[in-house]
Amino acid sequence: MIICCGEALIDMIPSKLENNETAYIPKVGGAVVNTAICLGRLGADVSFLGSVSNDLFGELISDELKNSKVDTSLCINTTFNTTLAFANIKNGTTTYSFFDENSSNKNIKLDDVSLKENEVDTLYVGGISLMSEPNGKEIENFISRESKKTIVFFDPNIRPAFIENRLIYMQRFENILSQSDIIKISDEDLEWIYPDLSIEEVFKKWQEIGLSIIVLTKGSEGAIIKTKSHEVFSHGKKVEVVDTIGAGDIFNGALLFSLSKKNNFTKKDLENMDEISLEESLKFANKIAGISVGRIGANPPFFNELDS
């Protein structure tokens, strides 16, 4: 089973009414829950671990997870309000205004959660949950408890507006990185984290600390996978973009789904994954993300929607 640990929220998507006023449509979102939904729709054995409010928006989140075949037995019910992210979409690019104080995401408690070693093989983490307190420390501690026995897939998914103290965040980033097996990072996030290092220098640094698979996405240009033995590249598929909400999260879910089907997807053998498997997984991730950006909101396809 794959466990996706982090935030669930509601993206408020703008829509023009007939009188030209703007209305906002609630869509289930959040980096981690988007990835969980993608995995569930593709057919993975996946569970979401995070706080879900008992308010109206929390009900939408719970229903969407269940409808997408995501296990909800690890969801932590809370009376705190659901985080709202109001989206502003211009020329296919999305920016957000977050309403997150005293939210369900910020009040996640994981002290009593322990994953069953024989049932869970992968822990997926990242997103805004790691950028604020007390939830950031709570999830960081949880990763430290579980990382020795599970594959850790980390996507920092930087939102600078959420980071109050860069030094504290970078300490958390480096700590989680040192316990991770796979990292996916965008070129924009990489530049924010290491403004003075080249891509080659970052790859070398990360391989030296033990990362098995490094994935760098470059928007419409495509993506690179780097391991100890291989480097593969896949061009982005040209599609008509409606919006980019959740595109990176859905890329992650599709990539993790494909990688997890390979024979050598174990914590010990990840760095020895063969070149063909890496290339197939990268192309599949680009394909699924390409479908999603042609739709409103983070809306990955179900497996039966895919052509052969």
All domains in the chain, ordered by first residue: 2-303 (3.40.1190.20)
HEC readout, the chain: CEEEECCCEEEEEEEECCCCCEEEEEEEECHHHHHHHHHHHHCCCEEEECEEECCHHHHHHHHHHHHCCCECCCCEEECCECCEEEEEEECCEEEEEEECCCECHHHCCCCCCCCCCCCCCEEEEECHHHCCCCHHHHHHHHHHHHCCCCEEEEECCCCHHHCCCHHHHHHHHHHHHHCCCEEEEEHHHHHHHCCCCCHHHHHHHHHHCCCCEEEEECHHHCEEEECCCCEEEECCCCCCCCCCCCHHHHHHHHHHHHHHCCCCCCCCCHHHCCHHHHHHHHHHHHHHHHHHCCCCCCCCCCHHHCCC
CB atoms within 10 A of CB 211: 23
pLDDT at 98: 86
Structure tokens at 183: 């990292």
pLDDT at 296: 73
pLDDT at 252: 96
Predicted TM-score (pTM) of the model is 0.93
CA atoms of 206 and 227, how far apart (whole Å): 10
pLDDT in tens, the chain (308 residues): 999 999 999 989 888 888 889 999 999 999 999 999 999 999 999 999 999 999 999 999 999 999 999 999 999 999 999 999 898 877 666 777 888 888 999 989 998 888 877 788 999 999 999 998 899 999 999 999 999 999 999 999 998 888 989 999 999 999 999 999 999 999 999 999 999 999 999 999 999 999 999 999 988 788 999 999 999 998 876 777 766 778 899 999 999 999 999 988 999 899 889 999 999 999 999 999 888 887 877 789 898 888 75
pLDDT at 95: 77
pLDDT at 298: 78
Amino acid at 190: L
Q: Are 131 and 171 in contact (CB under 8 A)?
A: no
pLDDT at 276: 94
Which residues, in sequence order, are bridge partners of residue 185? Answer: 216
